[in-house]
A and B are shown apart, each in its own frame.
Chain A
Amino acid sequence: MTLPPQVPLLEVERLRVEFPTRRGALLALDEVSFSIAAGEILGVVGESGAGKSLTGAAIIGLIEPPGRIAGGEIRLEGRRIDKLPPAEMRRVRGRQIGAIFQDPLTSLNPLYTVGHQLVQTIRTHLPLSPSQARERAIDLLRQTGIPAPEARIDQYPHQFSGGMRQRVVIALALAAEPRLIVADEPTTALDVSIQAQIIFLLKRLAREHHAAVMLVTHDMGVIAEACDRVAVMYAGRIVEIGPVQQVIHQPAHPYTRGLMGSIPAMDEDRERLTQIDGTMPRLNAIPSGCAFHPRCACVMPRCRQERPELMDAGATRAACWLLAEGAV
């Protein structure tokens, strides 16, 4: 179900993130551009090291040094946030952008009760009294599906199971009613059965709060379940982006096709798993032109020299010279 495009809540334009090393700067994100509308869930998928988490970190403004944003713009509700002074950015974080990280076991401070951490976050951003904040905290816990929240609010993180902890993390991310949620592999560390619950919860909350969600994951199943649109990343670039059904069933980019093709289907009878030959290039050895060309079965001379921009491919957009030539 795709919502009609409006003024995008989040716009990322030609974002570049680099890591200075003693042998020169390594470009980890290379001209990444996309946008997310309010109420929409955008999935960002790719192999480890493709730059998905880094994109999320750049948006929140928490790239680990020595990494830094070297170019491009990030706009939230029309306002530029990539060059804000730290104090301003801090206000944006939590209030307008909520973040969810991968490991619920380590995301919560073990020495404070869940309630304390919730109330602290709420009162940082909203002018509520302690009792009002506590009420709100209990309500948040209830919304995220934690039973008996009035009792559990005073418990410590180690007294919750993994799935419950992730719900607490989600509650914390939503505490100040952010417009954008950046979720970095929120279900990777959880059991499959719990995964489904968490995904469902995220979807529901996003709809209810009319928030935009950037869902970073390497799990295509999660993407298929949860997202409206999906962006496929490779070697720090977006190679394909579009509505989720189209990207999965009619991928235009050879890499995406390879990805989809390598997922075994339940009803198929296959002897061997298909894989894409080779591996994703290291940051200090990114190929010229199209980064995927060494592994591409359809490689053309142009691919080795010029880097393709995202081009129209029917319902999706993909960065591939095959589309320019008109031959698919």
Chain B
Amino acid sequence: MLAFVIRRLVQALVVMVSVGLIAFALFQFVGDPVNNLMGQEATPEQRAQLRADLGLDQSAFVQFARFAGNAVRGEFGLSLRQGRKVSALIAERLPATLELAFVAAVLALVLGIPMGVVAALRRGHPLSQALMAFSLIGVSLPTFLIGILLILLFATALNWLPSFGRGEVVQLGFWSTGLLTVDGWRHLVLPAVTLALFQLALIMRLVRAEMLEVLQTDYIKFARARGLPERTVHFGHALKNTLVPVMTITGLQLGGLIAFALITETVFQWPGMGLLFVQAVQFADIPVMAAYLCLISLIFVVINLVVDLLYFAVDPRLRVDRAVAAH
């Protein structure tokens, strides 16, 4: 098992390095690196100095090493658009995105899995068909459209919920949270639902498809042949076997939530990392783009690793037991 963990760590490292390379390439070759780091107002002398400091006359390898060293410390220079340090900008916005993603993830899981199970068990039943129709709509509607429609309905027409911003936040050290105030929650509802809907539909379809597959297997047939009650067969056997592969895929999807958040953040003007990134793309603000890229990769890699380890913990077939010899 240790070998497995080490292998995955190495893989993770490779991914991070490749992403770093891409980010580095962005920095160096897209636009002027000195510009990227110093902003527009620097004098020619300052630029020349920086050029020497940066060692732009040195080999690409050395430059990359320097970049990597900076990146690891979170140092990405100044935002071209705002002139502030990129790391500060991101740190400011991170809590907003993470909270949104987290709430949306919980929503998607808590609703998606049971709905998928119901759709699989009562195949052909009107309820199941309604659920499938709902999931199809969820997958066919782009996130931003859902957001707009929700705003139209709940904010503009009914005036029940606010339509932009984060509302009241409480500052806990460097983390600003909106979860501790009613106002914060009110602001969170629509964006979270918008973000969750696509994932919910995906999870539901996945659970259903997987469960239908499992219900066809021999061991389910054998379980029925042994006279086990339907509920045990469905939930004790089928569901458990369904959740194992679903869990992996879902874990990876949830990582995507953090990235998907950028659409939702744009629609609701939610002050998170995603909105920052979108604005950066609009302005070709390279340092912010590079930093966001590296951060997102890190998050993904970590999530992938955790999911892999979880898989290990849940599926006994992967825990190869050297003590047992087949005989």
- Which residues of chain B have C-beta atoms less than 8 A from A91's C-beta? 227
B49 at the interface (CB under 8 A from A): no
| A159/B226 contact (C-beta < 8 A), A107-B219, A109-B237, A111-B241 known | no
How far, in angstroms, from A106 to B221 measured CA to CA in the complex?
Answer: 10
Q: In the complex, what's the smallest C-beta–C-beta distance from A28 to chain B, in angstroms? A: 18
Most buried by A among B228, B232, B236, B314: B228
| A109/B324 contact (C-beta < 8 A), A92-B227, A93-B224, A99-B225 known | no
| A125/B227 contact (C-beta < 8 A), A99-B222, A158-B316 known | yes
Question: Is the beta-carbon distance between B244 and A111 smaller than 8 angstroms?
Answer: yes
B222-244 interface bits toward A, Cβ cutoff 8 Å, 1 = contact, 0 = none = 11111111101000110011001
For window 15-39 of chain A, which residues contact chain B by CB distance below 8 Å? Answer: none
- Which residues of chain A have C-beta atoms less than 8 A from B57's C-beta? none
How far, in angstroms, from A110 to B241 measured CA to CA in the complex?
Answer: 8
For window 299-327 of chain B, which residues contact chain A by CB distance below 8 Å? Answer: 314-317, 321, 324, 326-327
Question: Is the beta-carbon distance between A172 and B326 smaller than 8 angstroms?
Answer: no
How far, in angstroms, from A107 to B226 measured CA to CA in the complex?
Answer: 11
B171 at the interface (CB under 8 A from A): no
A104-115 interface bits toward B, Cβ cutoff 8 Å, 1 = contact, 0 = none = 001111111000
- Which residues of chain A have C-beta atoms less than 8 A from B321's C-beta? 159
Among A92, A98, A108, A156, the residue within 8 A (CB) of B219 is: A108
How far, in angstroms, from A159 to B318 measured CA to CA in the complex?
Answer: 11
- Which residues of chain A have C-beta atoms less than 8 A from B221's C-beta? 62, 101
Among A90, A93, A101, A156, the residue within 8 A (CB) of B317 is: A156
A225-256 interface bits toward B, Cβ cutoff 8 Å, 1 = contact, 0 = none = 00000000000000000000000000000000
For window 77-94 of chain A, which residues contact chain B by CB distance below 8 Å? Answer: 90-94
A169 at the interface (CB under 8 A from B): yes
A176 at the interface (CB under 8 A from B): yes
A-B contact number at CB 8 A: 85
Question: Is the beta-carbon distance between A121 and B226 smaller than 8 angstroms?
Answer: yes
Number of interface residues of B (CB under 8 A): 27
Among A101, A111, A120, A159, the residue within 8 A (CB) of B228 is: A120
- Which residues of chain B have C-beta atoms less than 8 A from A173's C-beta? 226
B218 at the interface (CB under 8 A from A): yes
| A93/B232 contact (C-beta < 8 A), A110-B317, A159-B324 known | no
Query: For residue A106, which residue of chain B has the nearest CB?
Result: B218
Question: Is the beta-carbon distance between A94 and B222 smaller than 8 angstroms?
Answer: no
B282 at the interface (CB under 8 A from A): no
- Which residues of chain B have C-beta atoms less than 8 A from A169's C-beta? 222
Question: Is the beta-carbon distance between B225 and A124 smaller than 8 angstroms?
Answer: no
B58 at the interface (CB under 8 A from A): no
B192-224 interface bits toward A, Cβ cutoff 8 Å, 1 = contact, 0 = none = 000000000000000000000000011101111
Q: In the complex, what's the smallest C-beta–C-beta distance from B210 to chain A, in angstroms? A: 14
Q: In the complex, what's the smallest C-beta–C-beta distance from A297 to chain B, in angstroms? A: 40
Question: Interface on B for A, CB 8 Å cutoff?
Answer: 217-219, 221-230, 232, 236-237, 240-241, 244, 314-317, 321, 324, 326-327
Can you name 15 extra interface pairs (CB under 8 A) apart from A109-B223, A112-B240?
A: A62-B221, A98-B225, A98-B226, A101-B221, A101-B222, A107-B222, A108-B219, A109-B237, A109-B241, A110-B241, A111-B244, A120-B232, A121-B228, A124-B227, A173-B226
Q: What are 25 residue pairs bridging A and B, where the CB atoms are less than 8 Å apart in the complex? A: A62-B221, A62-B224, A62-B225, A90-B224, A90-B227, A91-B227, A93-B227, A94-B225, A94-B226, A94-B228, A99-B222, A101-B222, A106-B219, A108-B219, A110-B219, A110-B317, A111-B316, A112-B240, A120-B228, A121-B228, A125-B227, A155-B324, A156-B317, A159-B326, A161-B326
